[in-house]
Amino acid sequence: MTVLSVRDVHLAFAGVKAIDGVSFDVGVGELFAIIGPNGAGKTSIFNVLSGIYRPQSGTVTFLGEDLIGLKPHRIAARGMARTFQNVELFAGLTVLDNLMLGRHQHTRYGPLAAMAWLGRARRAELAARAAVEEIIDFLELEQWRKQVVGLLPYGVQKRVELGRALAMEPKLLLLDEPVAGMNLEETEDTARYILDIRQELGLPMILVEHDMGLVMDLADRILAVDFGVPLATGAPEEIRRDPEVIRAYLGEAS
């Protein structure tokens, strides 16, 4: 079954083609990666998926529903969660509060409804708290749970961001350069958490990442893009051997 289906998406900014005819599918439980040199259009693809950019043409179908034209918060509410290249958390709040805020995307009660339906709201709050505690456990964040996020090491902040995305109980997770700026140990930890998310939660993910070793190790399938144009889609071994990809991307890195 297909979770996400992207067909022939085109996006241009004042004549610059950021995405030029990109199509791909992400299946249930699949870890799909998008690679390409700087400026290739990877972040633009994420911005189209999450509703920040509206493409000039093409379709994006998520769990059978057309997403084009929906606002980012509506897409998030349908189950698409995202982490960002730079940590985007509430730096002055604790780990626990940041995760609770992620979870509250889920809560159906506004403040007034919460007063009117106190019992139900309270039960929802308790359920939210339990779900967040599970995530803290899963990502081994116990020792920092009451600490202010802005003061934590960078690698831990990125993990909290991952936790906040999980707290939304997503059906698809977009990871935008999850190991950028990390040292080797933090990178290995993150790779392990990503694998755990796939194995234990069965959550499909799309990974944009410059760390080629990580992508080749983790991804089930890879889409390579250059100047917005799709070069190849396939298993890591196929992508590693693809002459176009070698020329455009791997060749450049070596």
Ligand X SMILES: Nc1ncnc2c1ncn2[C@@H]1O[C@H](COP(=O)(O)OP(=O)(O)OP(=O)(O)O)[C@@H](O)[C@H]1O
15 binds ligand X (CB under 6 A): no
Smallest gap from Cβ 168 to ligand X, in A, equals 23
The alpha helices in 109-242, defined as continuous H runs, are 111-116, 118-138, 154-167, 184-196, 212-218, 236-241
Least distance between ligand X and beta carbon 222 (Å): 14
CB of 2 to ligand X, least distance (A): 24
Quick check: 41 binds ligand X (CB under 6 A)?
yes
Q: How far is the CB of 231 from ligand X (least distance, A)?
A: 13
Which one, 75 or 248, has the nearer CB to ligand X? 248
Contact pick of 6, 9, 18, 174 for ligand X (by CB under 6 A)? 18
Contact by Cβ (8 Å): 238, 231: no
Sheet holding 2-13, edge to edge: 16-27, 2-13, 57-62, 65-66
- 17 or 104: whose CB is closer to ligand X? 17
Indicate whether 43 belongs to the interface with ligand X (CB under 6 A).
yes
- Position among 4, 33, 36, 76 found at the interface with ligand X (CB under 6 A): 36
Is residue 178 involved in binding ligand X (CB under 6 A)?
A: no
Cα-atom radius of gyration of the chain, to the nearest Å? 19
Q: Which of 44, 83, 187, 190 binds ligand X (CB under 6 A)?
A: 44
Q: Exactly one of 1, 15, 38, 130 binds ligand X (CB under 6 A); which one? A: 38
Indicate the residue among 139 and 177 with the shorter CB distance to ligand X.
177
Which residues make Cβ contacts (< 8 Å) with residue 203, sequence separation at least 6?
Answer: 29, 170, 171, 172, 173, 197
Span interacting with ligand X, options 2-10, 31-39, 67-75, 124-132, rule CB under 6 A: 31-39
Q: Which stretch binds ligand X (CB under 6 A): 1-9, 34-42, 123-131, 188-196?
A: 34-42
By rule CB under 6 A, what count of residues binds ligand X?
A: 11
Sheet of 229-234, strands arranged across: 80-83, 172-176, 205-208, 31-35, 221-226, 229-234
Q: C-alpha angle 223/163/201, rounded to 5°?
A: 65
CB of 1 to ligand X, least distance (A): 28
Q: Is the separation of the CB atoms in 203 and 170 below 8 Å?
A: yes
Shortest distance, position 235 Cβ to ligand X, whole Å: 22
Q: How far apart are CA 211 and CA 126, in angstroms?
A: 39
Residue 83, interface with ligand X (CB under 6 A)? no
Residue 238's alpha-carbon distances to 46, 144, 224, 228, in angstroms, are 24, 41, 11, 20
CA dist., res. 247 & res. 118, Å (int): 61
The reply on whether position 224 binds ligand X by CB under 6 A is no
Distance CA 158, CA 88 (A): 9
> Which residues of the shown chain bind ligand X in the complex (CB under 6 A)?
13, 16, 18, 36, 38-44
